[in-house]
């Protein structure tokens, strides 16, 4: 039975969904110390975390059985991705589930900091009624500068346009079309945004480039009394520098949901009356947490069962519409890959994956990964998977070439090059959606892959089929299908049989000894 540990609060609905799975054991352990977690983690196949649990190299060294990290939320900056990928650990998150809540909280922080709401509340709480020093700023007609026009940046944009704000944005990594779609002026430089904005909000991920992206010298470039919000990640605005800019009046107010040292409530911003601070509450709504909890439970369950997961962070993203098609070609690619080491034993130097006809239009990255997974699985077993398939090839010195060909025929061809020659296998998915192997080393077939198959090379002469059938019958192996293909040039034919059960070593030896049979190999898919 596979085991999952949940180390941070996710919604009851998510936990219930996990616990409803009969093949999974779920432990919710929210108060484990780091030492306890590291001691317990070898037992688990999957872990579900939010933003506090640090999934780093130290963690991976202990997590010897781990297959899936589920991030109940959006940002994955607490998860060291390279460490997961090289170990074949799939990392999944729920990028869409809490963005509305985060956008709304951003706006809440913007309004409350621009209107001194918290300062006013504290005053009235101490039974003082005094409006002095509480004058705020209206948003209508002001310019809002958005750094990072992604999902949350986009949601904030449309909502604040409804407030009558002019929105400008800086995001060098997205196409102009997105700026047009949101009717937002594109700032070519960060300085341009800093100079023009009355209010600035940041919605980038935490990366080496974005951490401390805005420092004191940047606040000096802004309009005096600019107002700022950070509902993304602590430290994108350097905290010390922002505090200094606030104290000096360069920045009039700040709404901040995220701190550098969270979950510790330590920051120079805390004691400044111009700041409104919340303890990373952006995603803390009933709706977001239900969405996130259910989504992460579904993803972790699917990933543990080896199914395709739409939000796998260390796998290429697939659009919902192409998932079904890609899945079928992944199954084909994996089967074609699996043939090689079961039929040949030479060290692989190069793998070519050729997509012909309409296949060239599908998202091929996952299919190539599936070919590599299938190729290495017979020799590496579960140490290779979709996540680390490419790294595995690289690590073994195998060059991988993917190419696309114009052709009237839809075909996926895998060529495995070795010092001794090239092995070729090709196949397609027929109009009924069924996987078919069409060619092995130039022998033409139309094989529906099965769990047990026999590949037989024999002299192209009468009586071959009969003696194979008789021997398998005598060994109580039922033949499901049999296809024969011949190569006129070398006089060697190839038979491909699918059988209903495992063929024992003894039977294989007897088959091998039959007159005219040159090679017999059992293939397991």
Ligand X SMILES: O=C(O)CC[C@@H](O)C(=O)O
Ligand Y SMILES: NC(=O)c1ccc[n+]([C@@H]2O[C@H](COP(=O)([O-])OP(=O)(O)OC[C@H]3O[C@@H](n4cnc5c(N)ncnc54)[C@H](O)[C@@H]3O)[C@@H](O)[C@H]2O)c1
Contacts of residue 266, defined as CB under 8 A and 6 or more positions apart, other chains included, come to 259
Phi, psi of 485 (to 5 degrees): -135, 145
Counting residues that bind ligand X (by CB under 6 A) gives 9
- Site map (CB under 6 A) of ligand Y, residues 325-364, x = contact: ----------------------------------------
- CB atoms under 10 Å from CB of 290, counted, come to 16
Asked if 385 and 434 count as a contact pair (C-beta separation under 8 A), the reply is no
**364 sits near ligand X (criterion: CB under 6 A):** no
CB of 282 to ligand X, least distance (A): 6
Rounded distance between C-alpha atoms, residue 3 and residue 40, angstroms: 11
Rounded distance between C-alpha atoms, residue 109 and residue 255, angstroms: 5
With CB under 6 A as the contact rule, the residue among 80, 98, 197, 385 that binds ligand X is 98
**258 sits near ligand Y (criterion: CB under 6 A):** yes
Shorter beta-carbon distance to ligand X: residue 85 or 291: 291
**148 sits near ligand Y (criterion: CB under 6 A):** yes
432 counts as catalytic: no
CB of 28 to ligand X, least distance (A): 15
Asked if 296 and 46 count as a contact pair (C-beta separation under 8 A), the reply is no
With CB under 6 A as the contact rule, the residue among 187, 200, 283, 330 that binds ligand Y is 283
**210 sits near ligand Y (criterion: CB under 6 A):** yes
- Site map (CB under 6 A) of ligand Y, residues 217-246, x = contact: --------------xxx-------------
Q: Which entry of 43, 192, 262, 287 is annotated as an active-site residue?
A: 262
Shorter beta-carbon distance to ligand X: residue 154 or 282: 282
Q: Which entry of 50, 115, 233, 417 is annotated as an active-site residue?
A: 233
**75 sits near ligand X (criterion: CB under 6 A):** yes
174 makes contact, choosing from ligand Y, ligand X, none, with CB < 5 to 8 Å by partner type, with ligand Y
**74 sits near ligand X (criterion: CB under 6 A):** yes
34 counts as catalytic: no
Residues 181-220 that bind ligand X (CB under 6 A): none
Burial readout 224-251 (b: 16 or more C-beta within 10 A, e: otherwise): eebbbbbbbbbbbbbbebbbbbbeeebb
Nearest residue to ligand X, scored by beta-carbon proximity? 73
Rounded distance between C-alpha atoms, residue 291 and residue 286, angstroms: 9
**282 sits near ligand X (criterion: CB under 6 A):** yes
β-pairing verdict for 185-186 and 166-170: parallel
Phi, psi of 264 (to 5 degrees): -80, 130
Shorter beta-carbon distance to ligand X: residue 235 or 374: 235
Shorter beta-carbon distance to ligand X: residue 50 or 438: 50
Rounded distance between C-alpha atoms, residue 277 and residue 169, angstroms: 24
Residues 152-171 that bind ligand Y (CB under 6 A): 152-153, 170-171
Rounded distance between C-alpha atoms, residue 108 and residue 281, angstroms: 11
Piece of the chain touching ligand Y by CB under 6 A; list 33-41, 123-131, 197-205, 504-512 = 197-205
Phi, psi of 465 (to 5 degrees): -65, -45
Asked if 344 and 424 count as a contact pair (C-beta separation under 8 A), the reply is no
**11 sits near ligand X (criterion: CB under 6 A):** no
Asked if 147 and 170 count as a contact pair (C-beta separation under 8 A), the reply is yes
Contacts of residue 476, defined as CB under 8 A and 6 or more positions apart, other chains included, come to none
Q: Which entry of 280, 298, 334, 377 is annotated as an active-site residue?
A: 280
Is the backbone peptide bond immediately before 260 cis, with ω within 30 degrees of 0? Answer: no
211 CB-side CA count, 13 A: 6
Q: 414: closest CA among 472, 370, 480?
A: 370
Shorter beta-carbon distance to ligand X: residue 108 or 282: 282
Asked if 414 and 426 count as a contact pair (C-beta separation under 8 A), the reply is yes
441 makes contact, choosing from ligand X, ligand Y, none, with CB < 5 to 8 Å by partner type, with none
**Helix (H/G/I), strand (E/B), else coil: 195:** helix
50 makes contact, choosing from ligand Y, ligand X, none, with CB < 5 to 8 Å by partner type, with ligand X
**50 sits near ligand X (criterion: CB under 6 A):** yes
User: Rounded to the nearest 5 degrees, what angle is found at the Cα of 185, between the Cα atoms of 179 and 204?
Assistant: 60
Piece of the chain touching ligand X by CB under 6 A; list 40-48, 275-283, 426-434, 505-513 = 275-283
262 counts as catalytic: yes
Catalytically annotated residues:
233, 262, 280
Q: Which residues bind ligand Y (CB under 6 A)?
A: 74-75, 95, 98-99, 102, 147-153, 170-174, 203-207, 209-210, 231-233, 257-258, 280, 282-283
Q: Which residues of the chain form contacts with ligand X (CB under 6 A)?
A: 50-51, 73-75, 98, 280, 282-283
């Amino acid at each position: 039975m596979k085991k999952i540990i949940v180390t941070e609060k996710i919604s009851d609905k998510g936990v219930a969904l996990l616990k409803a799975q009969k093949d999974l054991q779920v432990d919710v352990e929210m108060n484990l110390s780091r030492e306890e977690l590291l001691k317990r983690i070898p037992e688990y196949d999957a872990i579900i975390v939010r933003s506090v649990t640090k999934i780093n190299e130290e963690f991976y060294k202990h997590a010897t059985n781990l297959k899936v990290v589920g991030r109940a939320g959006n940002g994955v900056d607490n998860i060291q991705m390279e460490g997961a990928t090289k170990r074949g650990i799939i990392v999944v998150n729920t990028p869409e589930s809490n963005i509305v809540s985060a956008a709304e909280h951003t706006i809440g922080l913007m309004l409350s900091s621009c209107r001194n709401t918290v300062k006013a509340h504290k005053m009235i709480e101490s039974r003082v009624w005094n409006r002095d020093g509480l004058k705020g700023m209206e948003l209508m007609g002001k310019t809002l500068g958005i750094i990072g026009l992604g999902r949350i940046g986009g949601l904030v944009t449309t909502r604040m346009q409804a407030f009558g704000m002019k929105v400008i944005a800086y995001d060098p990594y997205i196409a102009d079309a997105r700026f047009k779609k949101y009717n937002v002026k594109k700032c070519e430089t960060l300085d341009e945004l800093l100079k023009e904005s009355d209010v600035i909000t940041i919605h980038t991920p935490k990366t080496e480039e974005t951490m401390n992206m805005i420092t004191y010298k940047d606040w000096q470039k802004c309009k005096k009394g600019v107002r700022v919000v950070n509902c993304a990640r602590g430290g994108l605005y350097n905290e010390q520098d922002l505090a200094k800019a606030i104290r000096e009046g360069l920045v009039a107010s700040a709404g901040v949901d995220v701190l550098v040292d969270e979950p510790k409530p330590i920051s120079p911003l805390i004691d400044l009356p111009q700041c409104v601070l919340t303890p990373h509450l952006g995603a803390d709504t009933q709706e977001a947490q239900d969405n996130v909890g259910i989504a992460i439970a579904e993803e972790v369950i699917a990933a543990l069962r080896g199914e395709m997961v739409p939000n796998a962070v260390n796998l290429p993203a697939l659009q919902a519409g192409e998932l079904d098609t890609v899945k079928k070609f992944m199954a084909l690619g994996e089967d074609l890959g699996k043939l090689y080491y079961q039929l040949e034993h030479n060290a692989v130097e190069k793998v070519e994956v050729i997509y012909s006809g309409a296949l060239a239009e599908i998202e091929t990255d996952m299919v190539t990964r599936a070919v590599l997974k299938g190729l290495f699985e017979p020799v590496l077993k579960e140490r290779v998977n979709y996540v680390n398939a490419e790294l595995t090839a690289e690590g073994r010195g195998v060059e991988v070439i993917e190419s696309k060909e114009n052709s009237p025929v839809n075909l996926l061809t895998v060529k495995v090059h070795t010092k001794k020659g090239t092995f070729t296998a090709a196949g397609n998915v027929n109009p009924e959606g069924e996987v078919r192997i069409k060619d092995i080393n130039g022998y033409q077939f139309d094989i529906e892959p099965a769990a047990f198959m026999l590949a037989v090379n024999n002299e192209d002469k009468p009586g071959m089929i009969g003696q194979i059938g008789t021997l398998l019958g005598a060994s109580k192996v039922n033949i499901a299908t049999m296809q024969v293909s011949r190569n006129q040039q070398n006089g060697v034919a190839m038979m491909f049989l699918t059988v209903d059960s495992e063929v024992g070593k003894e039977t294989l030896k007897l088959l091998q000894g039959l007159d005219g049979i040159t090679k017999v190999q059992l293939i397991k898919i």
